[in-house]
Amino acid sequence: MLKRLLPLMTGTLLMTTAALPASADAVKLQAAGSLRAAMTDIAAAYTESSGKAVQAAFGPSGLLRERIEGGEASHVFASANMRHPRILESQGIGGPVVLFARNRLCVLTQPALGVTPETLLETILSAEVRLGTSTPKADPSGDYAWQLFEKAEELQAGSFAALDAKALQLTGGPDSAKAPEGRNPYAWVMAEQQADLFLTYCTNAMLAKADKPDLEIVAIPDALAVGADYGLTLISPENAAAAQLALFILSPAGQEILESYGFTAVGLP
């Protein structure tokens, strides 16, 4: 499927860039918060190569989608799932949607917790352990956490209800507390002792550990593992610079930047 989609979108973008005049205005990029570091570098590299500025806004993909639906100016939307850009496409806003990167869930833990992949399910089910997540529907990271809860139910009856009831939705919602400027939000949540462990993307966990080195990252065992597919769509296909930015994200240069931040770059061999 991916091998068919990439040439389709690339062909569409190439026709767009060939047919339209370049815009002098900045390209407006809305991107998932988990893409902030990678997309900041991608935008800088695109600007350096093209001379065209990028104005980026980052946040939970579901909330960004709602802002786009509400009429906020947007040219390119990079979501942490395929669902939100496909909803826009179904409404006649943007399209086609292409998978441009993959991620997966990891566990970010306090150093004293001592959790391992083998003890993860037992640990998160413990009434004494505070489990942090992002906010479902608003942020795909939260949706992926609930997918993990469903997998836990398959392993141990009653797990879903227990995890659904205890999960602390600490990030990604419209009313979630914001980390101080310059702080990684997950490192900040853990530094503030708001959770004992946090389910987040592995890429987020890496950045959190760089901010707070004593945090530990624990791999999720295969039986509970959840992957994340990231979708890209053009909201304003009439904007040639936006089409060129989308092509740059899909190019080897853009994909290598994504890979350097721990994403699985689907466009590379």
Contact predicate 54/26, CB 8 Å: yes
Q: What is the pLDDT of residues 228-249, one digit of tens each?
A: 999 999 998 889 999 999 999 9
Helices and strands in the chain, H and E counts: 11, 9
Which of 211, 210, 254, 215 is CA-nearest to residue 54? 254
Residue 144 corresponds to which amino acid? Y
User: What's the pLDDT band for 267 if we cut at 50, 70, 90?
Assistant: confident
3-state secondary structure of 243: helix
Alpha-carbon distance of 145 to 80, in angstroms, equals 13
Alpha-carbon distance of 78 to 127, in angstroms, equals 37
Average pLDDT of the chain? 92
Contact predicate 61/232, CB 8 Å: no
Alpha-carbon distance of 254 to 252, in angstroms, equals 6
Residue 5 corresponds to which amino acid? L
Q: How far is CA 205 from CA 94, 106, 194, in A?
A: 31, 7, 16
Average pLDDT over residues 103-114: 96
| Positive or negative torsion for Cα 215, 180, 139, 58 | negative
3-state secondary structure of 53: coil
Alpha-carbon distance of 242 to 249, in angstroms, equals 11
User: What's the pLDDT band for 268 if we cut at 50, 70, 90?
Assistant: confident
Domains belonging to the chain, first-starting first, are 2-102+228-260 (3.40.190.10), 104-218 (3.40.190.10)
Quick one: tokens of 261?
A: 């931040």
Which of 103, 86, 99 is CA-nearest to residue 35? 103
Residue identified by tokens 């993959």 is: 102
Mean pLDDT lowest for which of 36-45, 127-136, 146-155, 236-245? 236-245
Mean pLDDT lowest for which of 76-80, 170-174, 236-240? 236-240
Average pLDDT over residues 67-81: 97
Alpha-carbon distance of 29 to 64, in angstroms, equals 11
Contact predicate 230/81, CB 8 Å: yes
CB atoms within 10 A of CB 14: 13
Alpha-carbon distance of 35 to 204, in angstroms, equals 9
Residue that wins the pLDDT comparison between 18 and 70: 70
Q: What is the pLDDT of residues 24-72, one digit of tens each?
A: 589 999 999 999 999 999 999 999 999 999 999 999 999 999 999 999 9
Alpha-carbon distance of 5 to 96, in angstroms, equals 9
Q: How far is CA 79 from CA 64, 112, 223, 229, 231, in A?
A: 9, 34, 26, 9, 5
Contact predicate 125/225, CB 8 Å: no
